[in-house]
Structure 1
């Protein structure tokens, strides 16, 4: 029997994990549950901690940054867990400040790094992600489809055996009127044997060269009159159908195209920024390593 959620323990664990990962702004998906009343504005005060206000905007930031840690909670409990985390942050942060932990050089350097990281994330959201719209995704899809020359694909079956002699014997059975599917189910050693050797539709480049060459040379309804040897063994191939290969549906590749456009736009901006900047890596080995990474982007 599963134990009930303990919001205090969960919020504390989420806080520790979230801070250790230092997720950038916008890294986690927004998880804003629908309130019973009208949604409060960002400046609405929802709690006070030692007299200091906690606003709705701060709660939303906690939900965004720690959203993955709250994923198992019902929507109505996420706000409570996030507020508990914010309260803990306030209380321990004040104790840290009172102890002078914020005055160390190391802390100041980390704060500057986190500030720059947050600015980087905000810039990416507003200048990169915002430009990858449904319109640009659709346009790229249409462009790729138009630029891809039509190619044929075939549907084939095969019977795979270990020796040439076995394959030749199967060909003799087919010539005598044997049923290809039945023989495949009985004698083929391939995983498609239960389906009568059916490999479905495939296009150029999807099979090993020897198999592909033999299969595409056959007409619909024909089977290979000689065994086809590959690294897997000896094949007897039958072509069931030929058709023009169809491009993937837009909905199937929308997310991949979105990621591609985002990556292209991001590295385009990074490249322009690097070229306009003066960057001097002092350590020769590190400079070379960084250069190799940059060359792959």
Structure 2
């Protein structure tokens, strides 16, 4: 419930960007966080040379960046073993880089284009970190959470059980047994064909919009402790429905959604940043098909 509540409230929509484009950009953006440089030392600490390859220095900061790029399985290793694995990776990178230089691969047009793109991506990530990630404080996250909670009217939810049967006659027979005093949960275990039979037909709590309309219409009319006196037909079969409890929904605890709220705040701030940056420069899409598609996704551009 915690994740669906906040996502439903915010819809993860960035200011100034349409939904489809903002979701796509956010996917690229947050998948690129892994490429943000890792600061291995404070600004006033040395960045010592830990090894050399053909006279080319390997700095402690490079080792830290490589360590952050290691496969997740290395996270379980002791610190020193992880550093050794990172060092081995950097040595391999430097070794093959020298070989590539000897073969003049760094002088090809393809390599130069790649370096230009990598530079732009690194700068993108740098300004994202300094303008979006670093300024987000715990107070910002709590304020955003409080704003959503204040704007969220409580919904009614019910806790219900059901017994799913193949025919109307079977459902009516079950209702007759309930009228005779039989226990609902026990009948569900014995007769229901639904996946919740083993739990006595228990469906837990749900709000409107979570169940098929025919089922929902009856469930939200019943009082706590009541069962429907007539079977309800849906695409799944014939249901006998009982409501166990009714209550107003409560917002999830801040601690449960803080990380999700942080992501939303960063997405919104990224949207503001990219919108203002685009307004300061000229963007021209020359490919006709791309131009049409881009303008359809981003009508404000």
Q: Tell me by how many angstroms 1:232 deviates.
A: 1.2
Residues in 2 aligned to 1:178 and 1:226: alpha-carbon distance in whole angstroms: 16
Question: Counterparts in 2 of 1:1-297, with a 5 A limit?
Answer: 26-27=34-35, 41-66=45-70, 68=72, 70-71=74-75, 73-294=77-298
Q: Tell me by how many angstroms 1:144 deviates.
A: 1.0
Question: 1:204-229, CA deviations, whole angstroms, 9 ceiling, x for partnerless residues?
Answer: 22211221111111111111011111
Moved more, 97-106 or 283-292: 97-106
Residues in 2 aligned to 1:222 and 1:69: alpha-carbon distance in whole angstroms: 53
Q: Tell me by how many angstroms 1:126 deviates.
A: 1.1
Higher-RCO chain (CA-CA 8 Å, sequence separation at least 6): 2
| RMSD after superposition | 2.6
Residues in 2 aligned to 1:25 and 1:228: alpha-carbon distance in whole angstroms: 50
Question: 1:146-181, CA deviations, whole angstroms, 9 ceiling, x for partnerless residues?
Answer: 111122211111111111111111111111222211
Count of matched residue positions in the alignment of Structure 1 and Structure 2: 268
TM score, norm. by length of structure 2? 0.80
Distance change (3 Å), C-alpha of 1:183 and 1:88:
closer
Name the SS for the 2:35 alignment partner: coil
Match of 1:18 in 2: none
Do the aligned partners of 1:42 and 1:57 also contact (CA within 8 Å) in 2?
Answer: no
Residues in 1 aligned to 2:73 and 2:37: alpha-carbon distance in whole angstroms: 11
Do the aligned partners of 1:220 and 1:242 also contact (CA within 8 Å) in 2?
Answer: yes
Do the aligned partners of 1:31 and 1:67 also contact (CA within 8 Å) in 2?
Answer: no
Q: Tell me by how many angstroms 1:268 deviates.
A: 2.2
Residues in 1 aligned to 2:283 and 2:84: alpha-carbon distance in whole angstroms: 46
Question: 1:263-288, CA deviations, whole angstroms, 9 ceiling, x for partnerless residues?
Answer: 22212222222233211111111112
Residues in 1 aligned to 2:108 and 2:39: alpha-carbon distance in whole angstroms: 35
Residues in 2 aligned to 1:61 and 1:115: alpha-carbon distance in whole angstroms: 16
Runs of 4+ more than 4 Å apart: 23-26, 28-32
Distance change (3 Å), C-alpha of 1:126 and 1:28:
closer
Residues in 2 aligned to 1:44 and 1:50: alpha-carbon distance in whole angstroms: 17
Do the aligned partners of 1:28 and 1:68 also contact (CA within 8 Å) in 2?
Answer: no
TM score, norm. by length of structure 1? 0.81
Structure possessing the higher radius of gyration over alpha carbons: 1
